[in-house]
Structure 1
Amino acid sequence: MREFRIAVLPGDGIGPEVMNEALKVLRILKDKDYTFQFHADMFLWNSEYYLQHGRMMPENGLDILKNYDAILFGAIGDPRVPDDISVWELIMPIRKRFCQYVNLRPVKKLKGIPEQFIHQERPINFVIVRENAEGEYSNSGGRIYQGTDQEIAVQNTIITRKGTERIARYAFQYAKKHGYQKVINATKSNAVVHSMKLWDEVIEHVASEYPDIQLEKYYIDALAAYFVQRPDTLQVIVASNLFGDILSDLGSALVGGLGISPSANINPEGVFPSMFEPVHGSAPDIAGKGKANPIAQIWSAALMLQSLGREDLASIILKAIEKVTEHGEKLTEDLGGNSTTAEMGEEIVRQIVKIMG
């Protein structure tokens, strides 16, 4: 029987609090299902580590992480450390070194969470497939004449045929596997005429290989409006790094907020470990107060199990989460309740026990 090795990075702020609840869920699954075994190692590489050592992780940090089956990440960010340091010295190196070029962000309305839209015909249930390795978040550019009235800043967007083709193919394969009928291309090629035109051309080429799946193209500004006006018509959205990042936060707002939204940074080939993290940040204003919603972190753990081939256990976690939101008795403040992070996490664990018998 294989034992999965999981690297756990709780991070900053509310990260350790919500991570604690996710680990409770994984432990109960291990206790209830003897076929699921895992070993988790905790790595306290965060802003506190940076303040002590001048770096976000050890020099050999990536070499350590590459030996794990998966990485479960909390949230990063601390007012004492500039955000670009915490992001570019921890999250980005992991994503880029481990070729986690797919950022998968499900947007699903859970049972019991109040409806936001009166014209919905179907439940909101779509997924954003975000290109995660290049695009607008490429560290290409620079600044000159700093501090003068002649200062210039250049930030280059990197769009490659290979990078676009592999994210497009992942989106269409995902749609085919999960029964979606269409893929939406989020673009802005009417104004961004070089990089986005290449993006469109490659996506259209890949779409031709999937005749049973419809391709729709929307400019990003119009698509943002459609998120608000008719989110129930969305299915699989393929987007560049920046567009996907923004749209996924908007999608989270449609279904209850960032506290419930998970994400997966995936290396589809399995050569390197994938990383799973909530969409939300470290929320230092509520850290240590027991107010953080643990759903996003727990759901991210479910995405991890799905990636590891345990879709059965991932399904149990999501069913348990929906039981809790549907009953509405153990919800955190952001969902209109008055329960603590731990109380909500414990209720999800209780529901898992009931489901598994």
Structure 2
Amino acid sequence: MKHNEVKKLQKHFSIAIIPGDGIGPEVVNEGLKVLKVLEEVHSDVRFVYDFYDWNCEYYLKHGRMMPTNGLNLLEDYDTILFGAVGAPTVPDHVSVWELILPIRRHFQQYVNLRPVKLLKGLESPLRYKSHDDLDFVVIRENTEGEYSNIGGRLHEGTPYETAIQNNVFTRYGSERILKYAYSVAESRPKKRLTVATKSNAINHTMPFWDEIVKEIGNEHPQIDVQLYHIDALAAYFISKPESFDVVAGSNLFGDILTDLGAAIVGGLGLAPSGNINPERKYPSMFEPIHGSAPDIAGKGIANPIAQIWSISLMMDHLRLPELGKLVLSAIEEVLFDGTVRTPDLGGTANTMEMGDAIVSKIREMSLKTNLGEKK
């Protein structure tokens, strides 16, 4: 069945699967179990997916991270499920710049959505911070800013060698991500938006960014908006995370803040993300924010929760919020029970055991819900 034919069927969705490198295939496999059980518990939902073996091994064989028509192959899917990329055999700037970044940019996935939430059953490394204190979302600009491919090297291999990397902030790109951030803030009870800047030291792009924050803020007087310098904001992530609701940042600042956010809620093994094209003109991509972790690849101890939580975000994007909530609730129930935990969470369970526990909990919780509906 062609992907455009699949789209015509109600609640049938096509997904491109890119497991990637290292622990990527291991955690993606657990994510596929979740997709299958969601089909089982929701009879109207079907997922049709294809696998693409684009990774560093592919690069060593073909000299490319994906084929020349790779982006064309992906464009008809509803979503993309990504594992992780990176291996010691290929420089990181090659693997990232030839796989993830082209996908994000070509498909205008300009929103990188990363929840920072302390899940039930876990304790934060921060003393005295509860689940209510750690529940916000970071919105990172995903297609320009500090990760722009503008610059180069001069006089390579000489004492005069020079490297230049330019930041690129466009009005169009800044406006669309900030408008999205304001809209998310409007949908949340606190109606609060915190924006990262560094306009006291980066004297061209950051004042420009600040100006646009304020311009758009004039259209949303009901939103409590604050601009913080990135260094102070990083400190506040530790000292007063309860003050945040929606946090917006440029490509680099958002990237750094969300790794810090993951650390304060339990680690990178728990942190999901969505690379979203809000207009839905192109497929969006969902992935854990952790890397390929080559040091533990093949050991079967990787935590699959970040990958599975990314599927929860995918369900929300596909307008299946009941399934998104079910997946996240199942994760929390397994953690709250505490019997099955991977080593990064202080347990002894392997990757498959954690995935199986979440799948079983999804099935159990769905059964209870269905029985409740029949009463």
TM-score by length of 1: 0.98
Confirm or deny that 1:93 pairs with 2:102. yes
Q: Give the equivalent residue in structure 1 for 2:31.
A: 22
Which of 103, 106, 111 is the matching residue for 1:102?
111
Q: Give the equivalent residue in structure 2 for 1:33.
A: 42
Q: Give the equivalent residue in structure 1 for 2:267.
A: 257
8 A Cα contact 2:139 2:249, kept in partner: yes
Confirm or deny that 1:288 pairs with 2:298. yes
Confirm or deny that 1:8 pairs with 2:17. yes
Cα distance in 2 for residues equivalent to 1:22 and 1:151: 46
Confirm or deny that 1:162 pairs with 2:169. no
Cα distance in 2 for residues equivalent to 1:55 and 1:194: 36
Q: Structure 2, unaligned stretches of length 5 or more?
A: 1-9, 368-375
Confirm or deny that 1:329 pairs with 2:339. yes
8 A Cα contact 1:180 1:236, kept in partner: no
Q: How many equivalent residue pairs? A: 357
8 A Cα contact 2:124 2:266, kept in partner: no
Compute the displacement of 1:120 (Å).
3.1
Cα distance in 1 for residues equivalent to 2:179 and 2:189: 15
Compute the displacement of 1:297 (Å).
0.3
Tell me how large the CA RMSD over aligned residues is.
0.9
Which of 187, 191, 195 is the matching residue for 2:205?
195
Deviations 1:65-102 (A, max 9, x none): 00100000000001001111100110010001001111
Percent sequence identity is 55
TM-score by length of 2: 0.94
Q: Give the equivalent residue in structure 1 for 2:7.
A: none
Cα distance in 2 for residues equivalent to 1:141 and 1:26: 42
Which of 107, 118, 125 is the matching residue for 1:116?
125
Which of 242, 263, 279 is the matching residue for 2:289?
279
* Alignment map for 1:158-237 (pairs within 5 Å): 158-237=168-247
Compute the displacement of 1:158 (Å).
0.3
Q: Give the equivalent residue in structure 2 for 1:240.
A: 250
Compute the displacement of 1:179 (Å).
2.7
Compute the displacement of 1:38 (Å).
1.0
Q: Mean Cα displacement is larger for which, 143-152 or 14-23?
A: 143-152
Compute the displacement of 1:178 (Å).
3.0
Confirm or deny that 1:356 pairs with 2:361. no
Deviations 1:16-45 (A, max 9, x none): 000000110010010111111110111111
Cα distance in 2 for residues equivalent to 1:35 and 1:207: 41
